[in-house]
Amino acid sequence: MTVTSNLKHLASASVLTLAVATAQADTASSANVMAPLEVSDWYAFDNQLTTAANMGVTAVSVDVWWGKVEGAGDQQFDWSYYDTIFSHITSAGLDIVPIMSFHQCGGNVGDTCNIPIPSWIWNHYGVPASDLRYKSEQGNESVETVSLWADHLVASEYQEFMEAFESHFSGYADDMLEINVSMGPAGELRYPSYNSHDTGSGYPTRGAFQSYSDPAKADFQNWALAKYGSLNGVNGAWGTSLTQSSQIQPPSNAGSFIANGDQFYTQYGRDFVRWYHDSLMQHGHTMMTTALNALDGAFADIELGMKIPGIHWKMATGDNTERSAEIAAGLIPSDVNLDTDATGHGYADIVGVPASYQNESRGVVLHFTALEMNDDPYGSGQSLAQSLVFWVANEAAAQDVPIKGENALAGGVTTDNGWNNIENAFDYASYSGMTVLRINQVTTGGTGQNRYSQFINHYLVPDGDWQRTVIFIRGKTQSGQNLFIRGGIDHAYANANLGRNCQTYNVECALRIQHNNLLNATTVGWKTGDLYLDWYGIESGQGAGAEGTAMDWTTDEWPSSWGALRTVPVDGYGEEVLNHYGDHYWMLDVQMDCSNTVNGWFEVKSYISNGPGWEGNISQSGTPYSTSNHFAQCGRINVFERDSSSAQIINFP
């Protein structure tokens, strides 16, 4: 029996229509970072946490390694490392996303640690250890996870681990943004089809099937007999002459099986891949249901999450190996049309796993990787990574599944191209959150930190009382001079009257801002990474030379004698419609979190670089407390002059 080739072949137009998405987010509810796989330098980690918090990062994801906690023996839990790391994270003002990591640390791309799963598990059930492991077409066994064909044995261990985690860390319930559940190698719902136990199965190959253990083969036999009713029914469907059910086997030569297109063109091939795929889907349900049952006390209201990988290679081969890497990983079946939105290009089933829990009291978030990547159909990987990012997001939107993104490779967030692709996914697909692999890539300066800061400013939907706020300060300057401001709340006043300790955690007296004007080439570098109006000078993400929060030169009228017209909406400086006051009025236009002000009031003081420096003390009337600085109001237009106590505070037109 044959099937039409449109089950496998991809339309070349898909590469050209990325922006045509069925759903758009344009905003993010979370902007997270991954902690190191295992922290060894706590001083460096604390510095990274401080920078991340100042950037506006939401939370830090942490692998809670099964083997690290319960490695000594069944029910012998050692949470000490996690007591420490959770304390460090929350002390920095960040939330936690713990990952219930039932997989090995080591053996995957970027892994720099060696934490196996508990060794006692292999002898715990009175069955051969090989029955608990994936066995590949090459005859190799994986020890990175327990095989899904042992879920009926080991699921209770997963549940006990998560129950113990909830019991021990119940006091952190308000600090946990999400709890992610590992469902396979690297924490992803997939088979270890391109992992280190096999040879020649990694990127950019087709991978290796992982269904050759005795329990897997027995399950395939039972599945086929159940589908067709008898061995005769199997023979009739497959065109075989099998004499006993033990002859129902996975492909004896998987290479030829794929190369010949049996996965698409024969009933046996379609059935084998369907069983292989459905087995993984059932495993996903088992893991998530186990988590829901286990985390039903102090963590009952915390959102759960799961991750699937962006296996983007072997997607544009134009031959029978097309989509074979995804098939070997179990992500997609081969008996549906893989070239249509109706099936999510093959991803409808796997997106259906989290979709099936959307009527629970808490939802399940789907995480997908490879947001930073381009399509590269003619490269060695024959990749459609960017297309895949959109296919999965569109299917998630179709099934009302919240989806968040990650970069697949750490280097992907250190380039402008990577961030352009990430922002493209948020602009034109349904991604609603970002987790960066890893914290060190975006907290040590450079492109990673600058672009993530910009991303947070542009996409993250913050809490608080955010209102547009404009400040004009008249200050005569010359070429090469720029005007900055610093401000916030007085430390002593905040401590005495607001209960804030700004000496220990200085952002308590700072005001969160998001710049509206990023058009001025001179000041944009100083606005990048400028997340607070504060008293402390340059922030870690700002460009060199910043003396605080940068303002832009404006005028009420640009005469022709000055040359080509410059306007704030086009150039970021020049003629400005809100400026009714004259030239040399430097302007700050931001979204500001008014919740940290004193009944809407806050202080500002100006500084001119390469010139007069700080303005003098002034005495403005009608302010909530005495100060030698200007007082502005959040959510309004504020007009001042340097060294003058005068002030105009008006509403927006």
Q: What is the pLDDT of residue 409?
A: 96
576 is known as an active-site residue: no
pLDDT in tens, 203-220: 999 999 999 999 999 999
Tell me the pLDDT of the chain averaged across its residues: 94
Question: What share of the chain in percent tops pLDDT 90?
Answer: 88
Q: What is the pLDDT of residue 458?
A: 82
The one-letter code for the residue type at 188 is E
Confidence of residue 540 (pLDDT cuts 50, 70, 90): confident
Q: What is the pLDDT of residue 19?
A: 35
Question: What share of the chain in percent tops pLDDT 70?
Answer: 95
Q: Is the pLDDT of residue 469 over 90?
A: yes
Rounded Cα gap, residues 134 and 147, in angstroms:
5
pLDDT in tens, 551-574: 999 999 999 999 999 999 999 999
Q: Is the pLDDT of residue 494 over 60?
A: yes
- Mean pLDDT over 632-637 rounds to 98
pLDDT in tens, 92-123: 999 999 999 999 998 666 667 899 999 999 99
What angle (nearest 5°) sits at the alpha carbon of residue 96, between those of residues 437 and 162? Answer: 105
- Mean pLDDT over 450-469 rounds to 87
Rounded Cα gap, residues 496 and 493, in angstroms:
5
Q: Which two tokens stand for residue 516?
A: 């509206």
**Catalytic pick among 372, 406, 539, 576:** 406
Rounded Cα gap, residues 338 and 340, in angstroms:
6
- Kindly state the DSSP code that residue 575 receives in the 8-state scheme: E
Backbone torsions φ then ψ of 96, nearest 5 degrees: -120, 140
Backbone torsions φ then ψ of 461, nearest 5 degrees: -85, 105
CA dihedral angle for residue 37, residue 42, residue 44, residue 50, rounded to 10 degrees? 100
CA dihedral angle for residue 97, residue 101, residue 106, residue 112, rounded to 10 degrees? 20
CB 307 within 8 A of CB 291: no
Select from 38, 34, 305 the least CA-distant residue to 179. 305
Structure-token match 């005795």, residue found: 214
Q: What is the pLDDT of residue 23?
A: 54
Confidence of residue 24 (pLDDT cuts 50, 70, 90): low
Region of residue 257 (phi > 0: left; psi between -120 and 50: alpha; otherwise: beta): alpha
3-class DSSP state of 593? strand
Q: What is the pLDDT of residue 504?
A: 63
Rounded Cα gap, residues 23 and 426, in angstroms:
10
Backbone torsions φ then ψ of 449, nearest 5 degrees: -70, -45
User: Which strand (E) or helix (H) includes residue 386?
Assistant: helix 385-398
Which burial class, exposed, middle or buried, applies to 560 when counting CB atoms under 10 A from its CB (0-12, 13-18, 19+)?
Answer: exposed
Buried b (16+ CB within 10 A) or exposed e, 204-226: bbbbbbbbbbebbbebbbebbee
**Catalytic pick among 70, 141, 166, 188:** 188
Q: Is the pLDDT of residue 7 over 90?
A: no
- Kindly state the DSSP code that residue 448 receives in the 8-state scheme: H
Q: What is the pLDDT of residue 505?
A: 61
According to DSSP, the β-strands at 59-65 and 95-101 are parallel
What are the boundaries of each domain within the chain?
5-13+20-212+250-459, 466-650
pLDDT in tens, 579-598: 999 999 999 999 999 999 99
For the whole prediction, is pTM greater than 0.85? Answer: no
pLDDT in tens, 29-81: 999 999 999 999 999 999 999 989 988 899 999 999 999 999 999 999 999 99
188 is known as an active-site residue: yes
pLDDT in tens, 350-378: 999 999 999 999 999 999 999 999 999 99
Q: What is the pLDDT of residue 18?
A: 38
Range list of β-strands (E), 440-584: 466-474, 483-488, 511-515, 532-533, 549-550, 552-555, 574-575
Helices (H), 61-108: 66-69, 80-91
- Mean pLDDT over 231-239 rounds to 99
User: Looking at domain 5-13+20-212+250-459, which of 3.20.20.150, 3.40.1780.10, 3.20.20.80, 3.30.565.10 is its CATH number?
Assistant: 3.20.20.80
Rounded Cα gap, residues 648 and 652, in angstroms:
12
Structure-token match 């270890």, residue found: 192
